[in-house]
Amino acid sequence: MDLDALVVGAGFSGLYQLHCLRDRLGLSVQVLEAAADLGGTWYWNRYPGARCDSESHSYCYFFSKELYQEWEWSERYPGPAEILRYLHHVADRFDLKRDIRFGARVVAACYDEGENLWEVTTAAGERYRATYLVSAVGCLSSANVPAIPGLESFAGRWYHTGEWPHEGVDFRGKRVGQIGTGSTGIQAAPVIAASAKHLTVFQRTAQYSVPARNAPLDAAFKRQVRESYDAIREVTRSTPNGHPFRIDRRNVFDVGEQERRAIYEAAWEKGGLQFRASFRDIVLDKAANDTAADFIKQKIRAVVRDPKTAAVLADIDHPYAAKRPPIDTDYFETFNRDNVALVDLRAEPIERITPAGVRTRAREYPLDIVVFATGFDAMTGPLFRMNIRGRDGLALRDAWREGPKTYLGLMAPGFPNLFTVTGPGSPSVLTNMPVAIEQHVEWITDCIGWMRANGVERCEPTARAAERWGVQVEEAANATLLPLATHSWYLGANVPGKPQVFMPYAGGLARYRALCDEIAARGYDGFVMEPSRAEAARP
Ligand SMILES: Cc1cc2nc3c(=O)[nH]c(=O)nc-3n(C[C@H](O)[C@H](O)[C@H](O)COP(=O)(O)OP(=O)(O)OC[C@H]3O[C@@H](n4cnc5c(N)ncnc54)[C@H](O)[C@@H]3O)c2cc1C
Ligand SMILES: NC(=O)c1ccc[n+]([C@@H]2O[C@H](COP(=O)([O-])OP(=O)(O)OC[C@H]3O[C@@H](n4cnc5c(N)ncnc54)[C@H](OP(=O)(O)O)[C@@H]3O)[C@@H](O)[C@H]2O)c1
């Protein structure tokens, strides 16, 4: 049977996309999901210490006020179990599960121009055909296990945090090596250290981190959240990054040194990503940024007792928040434990993995377990893994050989009727993502609704629109300090051989939303809307 729409992925994006296309537009829709259950990121990332860095009262859907008000979060930053409970609640409430096929990994998606259909094949060989293909495969769903020679010879066990075994890993009595100190590694290390015999943290790039200050939410806060739905929603929609707080309007040098220090101290005590919002120009001006960077480096040196370890942890080579800034629970304190050691991979790079452990240029570290907290082939990785072929058999991989080419991060020239939720070129990973996801899903739904109402059978952006958008994405990034973190996954620099192009749109979610709405209001400016034959034949 030919479907109206196929959606790939059953995380925040896919679930809402199914609801919108099926229940608002009345289309026949099937969701294909590789995992055995829904949840996306939170299905896969069950490593020790995993939790949100968005605050719970904003890390959720806003499309239904009733849904928002009936759900109660227990903590400031929920972990996978609670987020999965929430997503199951959403799926049950909107009767979504009946249209999701689990254990169905898409391995090929080809556009048939004659039929104007996408033909999609799963790893099990099942075939589906649909007019619209919506990718909801996530930005961070393709685990990056570095190709370190000798991994296959390791006699112990190894795990990637993004594919963590659901039954958990018992670290008791074990010598554990953790490679990677991004947001994931910073969350995992304190929890692993608490049960392992010994933990060695292998750090390539030192990172800033601010305390999360996670805590249970009290009844008064929960009531206030319920009653403030409209106000909270309005803030998330009108700020550059979709968080439920505003970035302060003052600049770093509008205040004197003492006052600045007091502001940083208060933000440090409050904890969380709001630290970055203390001043307007923290991610815009290097001298301003230096004040935040220096403050955090001083904190690291004050917390970590061994001066050599502190120096390696505080030797950070990029501006604060130029990489997604982690928040933590006792990360730096962990290095004061007797059973934890830090290895500086800049001084002694990893040479290989041996049967006994990890060998660096300096020595071998004997290990029973290696944890790869090494991140993801972000944004383009999950799209390429679907082996998408568009018009004239053009492979997405080839079309994007020099970097992704999209219009608004929503569609790409050469790939008619293929929509990408949080695709490269959209604000996506620079935001509190559920807010960006809702905006994309609603735009896609409106676009498909418009096509059907206007007898349009094919929608595709022009190459010129995509080219111009690429320039805008680059300019938006260059107006910030983000490109100065030259090893960032925002740039694809974490995956050897990947073209280094700044992928997310850094111009802010509110501005981006306005742009997308304007383009739609102008009859989808920049898109070719091809009428159906019947429509074209009308006098
Ligand atoms: C550990 C971690 C913590 C995070 N914390 C935050 C946070 O606090 N705040 C925030 O805003 N964002 C956070 N993120 C980003 C997070 O990915 C988004 O918030 C959100 O969950 C993305 O939802 P999604 O549905 O777009 O993608 P995902 O949740 O990644 O879901 C995509 C789904 O597509 C499926 N899929 C992929 N390829 C295929 C295929 N070929 N065939 C079939 N199925 C496929 C995957 O199995 C997956 O289930 C975090 C990411 C990670 C890794
Ligand atoms: N809610 C949260 O708090 C939370 C938690 C986890 C993840 N996330 C999201 O997921 C994103 C990815 O986070 P992540 O920590 O999984 O990945 P990441 O930020 O890409 O960090 C990966 C780490 O592994 C290191 N690494 C990679 N390859 C290596 C190699 N070959 N040898 C040695 N070290 C290597 C990296 O070093 P280099 O820096 O030198 O490359 C980095 O320290 C985050 O930025 C965030 O958006 C959010």
Residue 223, classified by CB atoms within 10 Å of its CB into exposed (0-12), middle (13-18) or buried (19+), is exposed
Q: Is the CB of 52 under 6 A from ligand 2?
A: yes
Say which amino acid occupies 172. Answer: R
pLDDT exceeds 90 at position 451: yes
Per residue in 224-258, pLDDT (tens digit) is: 999 999 999 999 999 999 999 999 999 999 999 99
Q: How far is the CA of 142 from the centre of ligand 1 (A)?
A: 9
Task: Name the closest-CA residue to atom 8, ligand 2.
Answer: 183
Q: Residue 333 gets which letter from DSSP?
A: H
| Cα-based torsion angle of the residue sequence 326, 327, 330, 334 in order, rounded to the nearest 10 degrees | 0
Q: How far is the CA of 185 from the centre of ligand 2 (A)?
A: 7
Which bound ligand lies closest to the C-alpha atom of 105?
1
How many angstroms separate the CA atoms of 326 and 187, rounded?
8
SS3 readout for 412-477 = CCCCCCEEECCCCCCCHHHCCHHHHHHHHHHHHHHHHHHHHHCCEEEEEECHHHHHHHHHHHHHHH
Determine the atom of ligand 1 nearest the C-alpha atom of 432. 11
Q: Residue 410 gets which letter from DSSP?
A: T
Q: How far is the CA of 452 from the centre of ligand 2 (A)?
A: 42
Task: For a ligand 2 pocket test, name from 274, 315, 494 the mutation site with the most ligand atoms within 8 angstroms of its C-beta.
Answer: 494
Q: How far is the CA of 380 from the centre of ligand 1 (A)?
A: 13
Determine the atom of ligand 1 nearest the C-alpha atom of 184. 1
Q: Is the CB of 183 under 6 A from ligand 2?
A: yes
**Stated length of the chain:** 539
Q: Is the CB of 204 under 6 A from ligand 2?
A: yes
Neighbours of 483 (CB within 10 A): 18
Please check whether residue 199 is in contact with residue 176, taking contact to mean a CB–CB distance below 8 angstroms: yes
Residues of the chain with pLDDT > 90, as a percent, come to: 98
Residue 264: C-alpha distances to residues 70, 260, 275, 325, 438 (Å): 35, 6, 7, 15, 32
pLDDT exceeds 90 at position 533: no
Average pLDDT over residues 33-37: 98
Determine the atom of ligand 2 nearest the C-alpha atom of 181. 43
pLDDT at 171: 98
Task: For a ligand 1 pocket test, name from 15, 47, 141 the mutation site with the most ligand atoms within 8 angstroms of its C-beta.
Answer: 141
What's the whole-model pTM score?
0.98
Residue 501, classified by CB atoms within 10 Å of its CB into exposed (0-12), middle (13-18) or buried (19+), is buried
Closest-CA residue to 81 (of 102, 122, 60, 52): 52
pLDDT at 322: 97
pLDDT band at 204 (very low <50, low <70, confident <90, very high): very high
Give the CA angle between residues 313, 316, 319 to the nearest 5°. 145
Ligand 1, CB within 6 Å, residue ranges: 8-14, 32-35, 40-41, 43, 45, 50, 52-54, 59, 105-106, 136-141, 184, 382, 385-386, 421-422, 432-433, 437
Residue 266, classified by CB atoms within 10 Å of its CB into exposed (0-12), middle (13-18) or buried (19+), is exposed
Average pLDDT over residues 303-309: 98
Residues of the chain with pLDDT > 70, as a percent, come to: 99
Task: Name the closest-CA residue to atom 1, ligand 1.
Answer: 45
Task: Name the closest-CA residue to atom 5, ligand 1.
Answer: 52
Q: Is the CB of 184 under 6 A from ligand 2?
A: yes
Which bound ligand lies closest to the C-alpha atom of 185?
2
Q: Is the CB of 345 under 6 A from ligand 2?
A: yes
pLDDT at 68: 98
pLDDT exceeds 90 at position 532: no
Give the CA angle between residues 163, 164, 165 to the nearest 5°. 120
Q: Which string of DSSP letters, residue by residue, matches 260-322?
A: HHHHHHHHHHH-SGGGGGGSTTTTT-HHHHHHHHHHHHHHHHHH-SSHHHHHHHT---S-TTS
Task: Name the closest-CA residue to atom 16, ligand 2.
Answer: 375
Identify the sign of the CA torsion 195, 198, 202, 207: positive
Average pLDDT over residues 2-23: 98
Q: What is the mean pLDDT of the chain?
A: 97
Closest-CA residue to 43 (of 166, 182, 138, 158): 166
Q: How far is the CA of 30 from the centre of ligand 2 (A)?
A: 33
Which bound ligand lies closest to the C-alpha atom of 485?
2
Task: Name the closest-CA residue to atom 22, ligand 2.
Answer: 374
pLDDT at 537: 73
pLDDT at 539: 67
Q: Is the CB of 146 under 6 A from ligand 2?
A: yes
Q: How far is the CA of 373 from the centre of ligand 2 (A)?
A: 6
Average pLDDT over residues 449-463: 97
pLDDT exceeds 70 at position 27: yes
Please check whether residue 49 is in contact with residue 471, taking contact to mean a CB–CB distance below 8 angstroms: no
Which bound ligand lies closest to the C-alpha atom of 11?
1
pLDDT exceeds 90 at position 536: no
Q: Which string of DSSP letters, residue by residue, matches 50-80?
A: ---SS-TTTSS--S-HHHHHH----BSS--H
Cβ density class 182-220: b for 16+ within 10 Å, e for less:
bbbbbbbbbbbbebbebbbbbbbbbbbbbbbebeebeee
Q: Is the CB of 494 under 6 A from ligand 2?
A: yes
Phi, psi for residue 365 in degrees, rounded to 5: -110, 110
Please check whether residue 382 is in contact with residue 105, taking contact to mean a CB–CB distance below 8 angstroms: no
Q: How far is the CA of 454 from the centre of ligand 1 (A)?
A: 33
Average pLDDT over residues 65-91: 98
Task: For a ligand 2 pocket test, name from 47, 59, 184 the mutation site with the most ligand atoms within 8 angstroms of its C-beta.
Answer: 184
Give the orientation angle of helix 219-227 with respect to helix 229-238, to 10 degrees: 70
Question: What is the side-by-side strand order in the sheet with 364-366?
Answer: 350-353, 357-360, 364-366
Average pLDDT over residues 460-477: 98
Long-range contacts at 287-294 (CB < 8 A, ≥ 24 apart): 287/252, 287/253, 288/251, 288/252, 288/253, 289/319, 289/320, 289/321, 289/481, 290/319, 291/252, 291/260, 291/264, 292/252, 292/264, 292/320, 292/321, 293/208, 293/319, 293/320
Q: How far is the CA of 60 from the centre of ligand 1 (A)?
A: 13
